[in-house]
Structure 1
Amino acid sequence: MRNWLILHVLSACCFGCRAEENVIQPTEDVMVVEGQPTTLACIFDTTDLSPYLFWYKQQTNSNPMFMLRRDTFGAGETSTEFKERFHARLNVTAKSVPLTIQKVQLSDSAVYYCALRPTVTTVYSAPLQKL
């Protein structure tokens, strides 16, 4: 018996984006059989000649988690827990950065966001000390 999963795909708002910049994820829900690969589409539009594209994963009742970043002139960055089965390649000519998930697992059921600029930031805090 095959288990079907639904992956939800949403476009994230750009943080500090200009009016001519946007991200489009043409498919909102992707149904996939557990154990099979799938690809989530992300198309972007920007006048930036070296854009940074991000993928985030958000599971029910939790904050979005940074998955990976792809940019024009570097290898980008991938969070440790996503290095093995999650891959994306930035195609500046086609203005796309599809996310491929190998061997989809039940734990992959989530909402996936593609973003043109970072939308989740880490706030570092240190305990206050009296001098």
Structure 2
Amino acid sequence: MCAWITFLLILFSFSLECRGENSVTQPRKVQTATAGETVTIDCTYKTNAFPTLYWYQYKVNQAPKYMLKRYAGSSDEDEDFKERFNATLQTSSTSVSLTIHDVRVSDSAVYYCALQPTVTETHSTLIQKHNFKIAHKCST
């Protein structure tokens, strides 16, 4: 019997098109996989600054969890995500796709990438930063 896993992708995608604005885009909103497979979740970015990309996992009734960060020449990841989760920053294609090896049912979650930290951990307490731009006006 196969176990189907559904990955819900970015729910609040940054798609700002003003001059010089930073943005991330995850083109596929829902992805499915069978347990044991390898799955890749795409994320492209647009920035005028030196890129640092973050990946987060959000499960129902839990706070978003920092997974990993990628920037040119270096990387960082949370201990829980070192073994089966990986992302490579490709500055030539402005992408930082997340790869999950040996997918498990417990991996079902919302995964999102960001150009800024959106969750910080201090003293074992997870705090969500509220710096998402929900509505945006361009300055003229």
Range of TM-score over shorter length: 0.7 to 0.9
Aligned residues of 1:55 and 1:113 also touching (Cα < 8 A) = yes
Give the AA of the match of 1:68.
L
Aligned residue pairs, count = 120
Alpha-carbon distance, 1:5 to partner: 0.7
Alpha-carbon distance, 1:77 to partner: 0.3
Alpha-carbon distance, 1:124 to partner: 4.8
Task: Compute the RMSD of aligned alpha carbons.
Answer: 1.9
| Alignment of 1:23 onto 2:27 | no
| Alignment of 1:78 onto 2:77 | yes
Rounded to whole Å, the distance in 2 between the matches of 1:59 and 1:25 is: 18
Structure 1 partner of 2:127: none
Gaps of 5+ in 2: 125-140
Alpha-carbon distance, 1:121 to partner: 2.1
Structure 2 partner of 1:129: none
Give the AA of the match of 1:31.
T
Give the AA of the match of 1:100.
T
Identity rate, percent? 41
TM-score (norm 1): 0.85
Where 1:107 maps in the other structure, the secondary structure is helix
TM-score (norm 2): 0.79
Rounded to whole Å, the distance in 1 between the matches of 2:75 and 2:57 is: 17
Change (3 A) 1:66 1:45: same
Gaps of 5+ in 1: 126-131
Would you identify which runs of 4 or more consecutive aligned residues in structure 1 move more than 6 Å? none
Rounded to whole Å, the distance in 2 between the matches of 1:11 and 1:96 is: 18
Structure 2 partner of 1:46: 47
- Written as runs of structure 1 = structure 2, the 5 A alignment for 1:1-131 is 1-10=1-10, 20-48=21-49, 50-72=50-72, 74-124=73-123
Rounded to whole Å, the distance in 2 between the matches of 1:54 and 1:12 is: 15
Alpha-carbon distance, 1:75 to partner: 2.1
Rounded to whole Å, the distance in 2 between the matches of 1:97 and 1:45 is: 11
Which protein, 1 or 2, shows the higher relative CO under an 8 Å CA cutoff with sep ≥ 6? 1
